[in-house]
Chain A
Amino acid sequence: MTREHKAANLALDRMVAAGARDASAQAATSRKSEFSVEGGRFTLLRTTLDHSLALQAIKDQRRGTVSGNSFDQEAVIAAAGDCVASAEAGQPDPAWEMAREGQGEFVSGAVEADLDKLFERTKELLDSIRREYPKVILEQVITQHTTHNTVYLNSHGVRYQTTQGSYGVSVMFSGHEDEKSSSFNYTGFSTASLDRPFLEMGGLRQNLEDAQNQIHTRQTEGKFEGTVIFTPDCLDGMLGELIGNFATDSVLLDGTSLWKDALGTRVADERLTISFKPSDPRIVNGERYTGEGFLSEDYDLIERGVLKQFMISAYGANKTGKKRAPNSSFSMIVEPGTTALEDIIKNTKKGLLVSRYSGGAAGTGGEFSGVAKNSFLIEDGKVGPAVSETMISGNLAGMLKHIAGISRETVEDGNCSLPWLAVNGITISGK
Chain B
Amino acid sequence: MIPDIVSSLRGSFAPGAHSELRAQRSLSRRVVLLSGNLVGNTRSDSQGVSARVYRNGVYGFASAADLSEAAARKALETASSNAEFLDSRVKPGKGPLPDIPTGSLPPQADFNDVEQKRYLDFALSLDEYIKEKYPGLASRTVVATSDSMEKQILSSDGYAAHTLAPRSYVYVILNAVTEAGMPVEVFQPFGGLGGFDTVFTDPARLHGEIDKLHDHLMKKREGVFAQAGMKTCILSGLLSGILAHEAVGHTVEADLVLGGSVAGPNMNKMVASPLVSMTDFAHTAFGEKAPLPVYVDDEGVLAEDAELIRNGKLVGYMVNRELGRHFNMRPQGNARAFGFNDEPLIRMRNTAIHPGISKLSDMISQTEDGYYLINTNNGQADTTGEFMFGVTIGYEIKNGRLGRAIFDTTISGVAFEMLKTVDMVSDTVTWASSGFCGKKQPMTVGMGGPELRCQVIIGGK
Contacts and interface: CB of A to CB of B under 8 A. Distances in A.
Nearest to A256: B183
Interface in A341-382: 358-365, 367, 369-371, 373
Contacts of B82: 45-47
A67 B44 contact: yes
B255 interface: yes
A255 B138 contact: yes
A69 B25 CA distance: 10
Interface stretch (A176-184, A226-234, A286-294, A415-423): A176-184
User: Which residue, of B35, B46, B382, has the highest number of chain A Cβ atoms within 10 A?
Assistant: B382
Nearest to A120: B89
Interface stretch (A98-106, A264-272, A388-396, A400-408): A388-396
B443 to A, nearest CB: 16
Interface of B: 34-35, 37-39, 41-48, 58-66, 78-79, 82-83, 85-86, 89-90, 92, 115-117, 120, 124, 138-139, 141, 175, 182-185, 228-230, 255-256, 258-260, 262, 265, 341, 343, 376-380, 382-384, 386, 388-392, 407-410, 412-414, 440, 457, 459-461
Contact of A359 (B63, B141, B228, B390): B390
B388 A45 contact: no
Given A65-B42, A256-B139, A365 B386 contact: no
User: Which residue, of B62, B262, B379, has the highest number of chain A Cβ atoms within 10 A?
Assistant: B62
Interface stretch (A15-23, A79-87, A194-202, A273-281): A79-87
A114 interface: no
A373 B382 contact: yes
A411 interface: no
23 contacts: A38-B255, A45-B86, A46-B60, A46-B343, A64-B43, A66-B44, A68-B44, A85-B116, A89-B120, A139-B255, A184-B382, A254-B35, A254-B175, A258-B183, A358-B388, A360-B377, A364-B175, A364-B185, A365-B182, A365-B183, A367-B182, A370-B410, A373-B382
Interface string A81-122: 011011101110100000000000000000000010001000
A393 B228 CA distance: 10
A362 to B, nearest CB: 8
Interface in A241-258: 249-250, 253-256, 258
Interface stretch (A48-56, A149-157, A322-330): A48-56
A361 B139 contact: no
B41 A63 contact: yes
B141 A93 contact: no
Interface string A3-17: 000000000000000
Given A47-B78, A69-B45, A391 B412 contact: yes
A47 B61 contact: yes
A86 B116 contact: yes
A93 B32 CA distance: 14
A283 B316 CA distance: 45
Contact of B383 (A35, A41, A44, A184): A184
Given A363-B407, A389-B457, A174 B138 contact: no
B138 A89 contact: no
Interface string A129-166: 00000000111101000000000000000000000000
Contacts of B117: 89
A250 B34 contact: yes
Contact of A254 (B34, B343, B386): B34
Nearest to B414: A389
A87 B116 CA distance: 9
Contact of B141 (A67, A254, A393): A254
B457 A391 contact: yes
Given A139-B259, A183-B386, 7 more contacts: A48-B62, A176-B260, A250-B34, A255-B138, A359-B390, A360-B379, A391-B459
A427 interface: yes
Contacts of B86: 35, 42, 44-45
User: Which residue, of A67, A369, A391, has the highest number of chain B Cβ atoms within 10 A?
Assistant: A369
Contact of B63 (A49, A142, A253, A371): A49
Contact of A253 (B35, B115, B116): B35
Contacts of A249: 39
A216 interface: no
Contacts of B376: 360
B116 A39 contact: no
A207 to B, nearest CB: 15
Nearest to A142: B440
B41 A64 contact: yes
Contacts of B408: 360, 362-363, 367
Contacts of A64: 41-43, 116
A14 B362 CA distance: 64
A63 B31 CA distance: 11
A282 to B, nearest CB: 27
B457 A431 contact: yes
A65 B343 CA distance: 28
A140 B391 contact: no
Contact of B34 (A137, A253, A258): A253
A371 B386 contact: yes
Contacts of A50: 48, 63, 65, 341
A89 B114 CA distance: 13
Contact of A47 (B38, B39, B62, B182): B62
Closest 6 CB pairs of A and B: A360-B390, A139-B259, A369-B459, A254-B139, A364-B183, A39-B258
Nearest to A374: B382
Contacts of B184: 363-365
A43 interface: yes
Contact of A89 (B35, B83, B116, B185): B116
A45 B83 contact: yes
A297 B183 CA distance: 33
User: Which residue, of B58, B60, B260, B262, has the highest number of chain A Cβ atoms within 10 A?
Assistant: B260
A45 B44 CA distance: 28
A319 interface: yes
Contacts of B384: 174, 181-184
A393 B65 contact: no
Contacts of B185: 256, 363-364
A36 B262 CA distance: 23
A67 B42 CA distance: 8
Contact of B265 (A179, A183, A255, A362): A179
Given A45-B83, A176-B260, A179-B265, A90 B37 contact: no
Nearest to B64: A49
A429 interface: yes
Contact of B380 (A68, A137, A358): A358
A187 interface: no
Contacts of B407: 363, 367
B58 A369 contact: no
A229 to B, nearest CB: 20
Given A361-B377, A391-B412, A46 B41 contact: no
A90 B41 contact: yes
Contact of A46 (B61, B260, B391): B61
Contacts of B124: 91
B373 to A, nearest CB: 12
Contacts of B379: 360
B259 A138 contact: yes
Contact of A93 (B37, B175, B259, B412): B37
Contact of A393 (B262, B389, B392, B460): B460
Contact of B41 (A87, A256, A362): A87
A334 B175 CA distance: 32
A163 B120 CA distance: 37
Contacts of B62: 46-49
A370 B37 CA distance: 33
A48 B390 contact: no
Nearest to B119: A89
A181 B262 contact: yes
